[in-house]
Amino acid sequence: MLQIAYRARDITEAHIVAGLLEANGIEAHVGGHYLQGAMGDIGAAGFSNVHVDDEDLYRARQLVSEYEQTSGSSLSRAASDQEDRPDHYARWFLLALAIVALILLQIY
The CATH homologous superfamily for domain 2-107 is: Hypothetical protein rpa1041 (3.30.70.1530)
Element holding 102 (H helix, E strand) = helix 88-107
The Cα–Cα gap between 55 and 27 comes to 11
pLDDT in tens, the chain (108 residues): 888 999 888 888 899 999 999 999 999 999 877 665 555 545 455 678 999 999 999 999 999 998 888 876 544 455 555 554 556 667 778 888 899 999 999 888
Q: Look at the pTM and tell me if it is higher than 0.75.
A: no
Residue 50 backbone phi and psi in degrees, to 5: -105, 125
- CB-side exposure of 8: number of CA atoms within 13 Å? 22
